[in-house]
Amino acid sequence: MAIEIISVGIIGAGQMGTGIAQACATAGFAVRLNDREENRINVAFQNIGANLVKLVSKNKIEETRSQETISRLAPAYSLADLKDCDLVIEAATENETIKRDILSALCGSLKQNTIIATNTSSISVTRLAAATDRPERFIGIHFMNPVPMMQLVELIRGIATDEATYASAKAFVAKLGKISTMSEDFPAFIVNRILLPMINEAVYILYEGVGSVESIDAAMRLGANHPMGPLQLADFIGLDTCLSIMQVLYEGLADSKYRPCPLLVKYVEAGWLGRKSKRGFYDYRGPEPVPTR
């Protein structure tokens, strides 16, 4: 039987966790946000507040709804602070070891019927579920970035995920005002299985000198009607995340077409991770982004 989700815990106060927290609070859920670094929680709440101010100024939401959203947000300074949540979403960095450690430590703090979800964009939901004490109440809920704006949410069932958990997750996504699609538990699921090889191929085109950063992005914006060029999009996602997903695809499917481009590896090794580090395929340190190649 599906459970009613009223309170949501979120682990990870980065870009994705912050967006999920905003979306959940706006939709009426009580939200507890956790991060191993207390300051990141404070920064996340400040960013949510700034985002809501912008929405109010653009008449997208009313001031009263903005204040109600903020009132539903609370910090969780330890995993134990998530004990009363009906759903806990892990949104830590895209690293399987880190995720498994968090999930294993989390279980002892939760109610018996609490659903655990992972926001992983590529890692096996079945393997992550095995790190918990409730694989039947574990599911992948993969939000798209930026979470408050994007309509789609991928639901990924692990081999042990039961029907009630899936039904509860689907109802939760609907309450967020978003649309869910179900994916089987294969590397990178649906969206990133299609999207990331395209981005990786764009990096190969740059690496081989077929086109410049500007020409590649312009070609896909104007020639394929994409709202954002693939290299600009890679910077937005984070080049470390792009590389991580390509590595999962390459290792999980054992097909050479998924081999990460050496140039993508070099950028990550240099710490040029895109917008979040101010440099990637574009340099964001000045008033306007400037291509780095």
What pLDDT digit, counting tens, does each position of 123-157 carry?
A: 999 999 999 999 999 999 999 999 999 999 999 99
Query: DSSP state, 79?
Result: G
Q: Output the pTM of the full model.
A: 0.90
- Look up 226 and say whether it is catalytic: no
Q: Is 142 a catalytic residue?
A: yes
| Selected catalytic residue, list 34, 51, 66, 121 | 121
Reported confidence tier of residue 3, pLDDT bands at 50, 70, 90? confident
Catalytic residue among 124, 192, 200, 244: 192
pLDDT for residue 100 = 97
| pLDDT single digits (tens) 242-257 | 999 999 999 999 999 9
Confidence of residue 2 (pLDDT cuts 50, 70, 90): confident
In this prediction, residue 70 carries a pLDDT of 97
**Domains assigned to the chain:** 7-183 (3.40.50.720), 192-283 (1.10.1040.10)
Six-digit token pair at 183? Answer: 């994916």
Q: Among candidates 70, 79, 77, 78, which has minimal Cα distance to 30?
A: 70
Three-state SS for 85? coil
Distance in angstroms (rounded) separating the CA atoms of residues 270 and 209: 20
β-bridge mates for residue 88, sequence order: 9, 116
**121 tagged catalytic:** yes
Q: Is residue 212 annotated as a catalytic residue, yes or no?
A: no
Q: Going by C-beta distance under 8 Å and a sequence separation of 6 or more, which residues neighbour residue 194? A: none
Helix axes 213-223, 230-237, angle to 10 degrees: 110
Q: Give the model confidence (pLDDT) of 57-108 as tens digits.
A: 999 999 999 999 999 999 999 999 999 999 999 999 989 999 999 999 999 9
State the virtual CA torsion across 32, 33, 38, 42 in degrees, nearest 10. Answer: -100
Report pLDDT digits (tens) over 8-28: 999 999 999 999 999 999 999
Contact 15, 144 (CB under 8 A): no
Q: Check: CB of residue 94 under 8 Å from CB of residue 118.
A: no
Q: Which residue type sits at 26?
A: T
Which pLDDT does position 144 carry in this prediction? 95
Please tell me whether residue 58 adopts helix, strand or coil conformation: coil
pLDDT in tens, 247-293: 999 999 999 999 999 999 999 999 999 999 999 999 999 999 999 99
Q: Which of 7, 122, 142, 200 is catalytic?
A: 142
